[in-house]
Amino acid sequence: MKANVGNLDKIIRIIAGIGLFSLFFILEGNLRFLGLIGIVPIATALIGWCPLYSVIGVSTCPLTGKKTS
């Protein structure tokens, strides 16, 4: 697994994930479990790899494909 999530993308994913995950504590009834979807963007930000990006061939990581000297 090569990293395909850049730093700005990680920040956006963490903010969106926390926002979604907070719904778990705000909503009542069965709708509250929609907040668990927030775990996905948080996990992909922490791992630095997004399976969907791999499938469609996208990378926001600036180091992907560059050679180090």
pLDDT reported for residue 2: 87
Q: Percentage of the chain surpassing pLDDT 70?
A: 90
Residue 56: Cβ-neighbour burial (10 angstroms; 0-12, 13-18, 19+): exposed
pTM across the whole model: 0.83
* pLDDT, the chain, mean: 90
CA–CA dist 1, 47 (Å, integer): 10
